[in-house]
Chain A
Amino acid sequence: MADLPTATERFINGILPENPVYRQLLGLCPTLAVTNSLNAAITMAGAVGFVLLCANVITSLIRNLLKPHLRIVVFTLTIATFVTIADRFLAAYLYQMSKTLGPYIPLIIVNCIIICRCEVCASKQSPLVAATDAIGQSLGFGLALSSIAAIREILGAGSLFGLRVMPAAWPDWTIMVLPPGAFFTFGLLLGTVNWIVTRKGAKKSQRRERSSP
């Protein structure tokens, strides 16, 4: 237990150092599929956040009862329940958005971020740590989704949250809101993040070399 990260570490790790999309490359299906508008991306991130938080807390509460060979069944059952609740809730109160997202909400069940967090964190640590971990990872996921969605919506539709932000002369790059745009944007952003991380790492090792004679 001693070498597992604390609640604060879990929270911070989820946002950037272990960002589910940019660093762990998990949950890419919704990342590519629903990021053609910022509204859809934020709704998706919210739904994933809700499911992740509930699944993590429940898993953590029953972690001492889990049998190793039955744990995946329990995770899946828990996740599926909360995904169904999220799906019904969206259909009831955000009807148009639920139609836009369509099958991607039920598909949260197979989003690896959630089962990964249940396995890595919630099945080993207390509910408090599991909850902060879930919030951190959800924020990281939301950050990744909204960064991709913002770029795609601005370039592809000239708008943000459905409101026009680009000058009227801007020729909307329709390809950016179509599936290829998702791959372009994600690839470039992922490359940027990797470049920053590598440069940071290089600086750190340089400093270490200098300080140790």
Chain B
Amino acid sequence: MDVEKKSFAGGLKSSNLVQAWLVMVLAVGFGISLAGVQLLLGPVIEGNKLNETLEKVPELVLGNFLAAKMASENQTLEIVPRQVTVKKLDRTKFYIVYEARYQGDLKGWVVKTKGQGYADTIELLLGLSPDLRSITGLFVLDQKETPGLGNKIITHAWRSQFVDAPADRTLVVIKTGSSRPGEIDVVTGATISSRSVTAMINTAIGDLRNPLTTAPSSQGKGGKHNG
């Protein structure tokens, strides 16, 4: 703003910039203090998210009913996090995948993925069946979509459309009411939020199909060339 006005100032070339010295000093000072806050609190926030993720894994893999039943019987799933590297044509993508096992049997996967929503990054947890044929659950870990419109993506009603949706074909966002499996109803007034969530899911499944189905037991890097 000030730089643009500078040329009109004539004799006092830098006067507008000089006038704004307080703004600039404050901006630097506040910036440094915010960086400090982030350094201090960032790990705590990440820890909170990790705890929530681990808490959500059973219901994302088994569904609410079975997860509640397991919890009441004091049984727990064995959750092993692993990083999956997917090499694409132009870049490398990293996914955190939680492997959920019960007494050694693979019960499913929970994939953490993120992408651009309408307002800010949306972080999703996506539950997948062991054979990657269907989606078993969806949870929104973080979002800042418009209140009343886009933030309806966190509601159970909207998320439950994804449960039991086929994972072996591309999900399509529909505005006029879904009728077939694999069709997702848009949130009214939030087409962009709905589309970006669906696109993130499609991409994640597409990226992970090979690494997860071909090398299910390998720990650590399950990376595979896709390009």
Residue B38 lies at the interface, judged by CB distance under 8 Å to chain A: yes
Chain B residues contacting A74 (CB-CB under 8 Å) are 22-23, 26
Residue B54 lies at the interface, judged by CB distance under 8 Å to chain A: no
Residue A33 lies at the interface, judged by CB distance under 8 Å to chain B: yes
Chain B residues contacting A88 (CB-CB under 8 Å) are 37-38, 41-42, 45
Interface stretch among B144-152, B181-189, B207-215?
B144-152
On A, residues with C-beta under 8 Å from B are: 33, 62, 65-67, 70, 73-74, 77-78, 80-81, 84-85, 88-89, 91-93, 95, 102-104, 106-107, 179
Smallest CB gap from A104: residue in B: B147
CA–CA, A54 to B34, complex, Å? 14
Chain A residues contacting B34 (CB-CB under 8 Å) are 81, 84-85
Given A84-B37, A103-B144: A65 in contact with B45 (beta carbons within 8 A): no
Point out which of B23, B33, B151 has the most chain A C-beta atoms below 10 A from its C-beta.
B23
CA–CA, A73 to B38, complex, Å? 23
- For window 38-73 of B, CB contacts with A under 8 Å fall at 38, 41-42, 44-45, 48, 52
Cβ–Cβ contact A91 & B26, under 8 A? no
Given A65-B22, A70-B23, A77-B26: A91 in contact with B37 (beta carbons within 8 A): no
CB-defined interface of B141-166 with A at 8 Å, one 1/0 digit per residue? 00111111001000000000000000
Chain B residues contacting A85 (CB-CB under 8 Å) are 33-34, 37
Cβ–Cβ contact B147 & A103, under 8 A? yes
Residue B80 lies at the interface, judged by CB distance under 8 Å to chain A: no
Residue B75 lies at the interface, judged by CB distance under 8 Å to chain A: no
- For window 9-49 of B, CB contacts with A under 8 Å fall at 19-20, 22-23, 26-27, 30, 33-34, 37-38, 41-42, 44-45, 48
Cβ–Cβ contact B22 & A62, under 8 A? yes
Cβ–Cβ contact A92 & B30, under 8 A? no
Given A88-B45, A103-B119: A81 in contact with B33 (beta carbons within 8 A): yes
Quick one: which of A78, A84, A104 contacts B26, CB cutoff 8 A? Answer: A78
CA–CA, A121 to B157, complex, Å? 47
Chain B residues contacting A102 (CB-CB under 8 Å) are 143-144, 147, 151
Cβ–Cβ contact B45 & A77, under 8 A? no
Chain A residues contacting B42 (CB-CB under 8 Å) are 88
Chain B residues contacting A89 (CB-CB under 8 Å) are 37, 41
Cβ–Cβ contact B30 & A67, under 8 A? no
Quick one: which of B30, B52, B146, B151 contacts A78, CB cutoff 8 A? Answer: B30
Point out which of B20, B26, B119, B144 has the most chain A C-beta atoms below 10 A from its C-beta.
B26
Pairs A–B under 8 Å by Cβ, sample size 15: A65-B22, A70-B19, A73-B23, A77-B27, A77-B30, A80-B30, A88-B42, A91-B48, A95-B45, A102-B143, A103-B145, A103-B147, A103-B151, A107-B147, A179-B148
Given A81-B30, A84-B34: A92 in contact with B48 (beta carbons within 8 A): yes
Cβ–Cβ contact B22 & A70, under 8 A? yes
Cβ–Cβ contact B26 & A92, under 8 A? no
CB-defined interface of B85-97 with A at 8 Å, one 1/0 digit per residue? 0000000000000
Chain B residues contacting A80 (CB-CB under 8 Å) are 30
Chain B residues contacting A66 (CB-CB under 8 Å) are 22
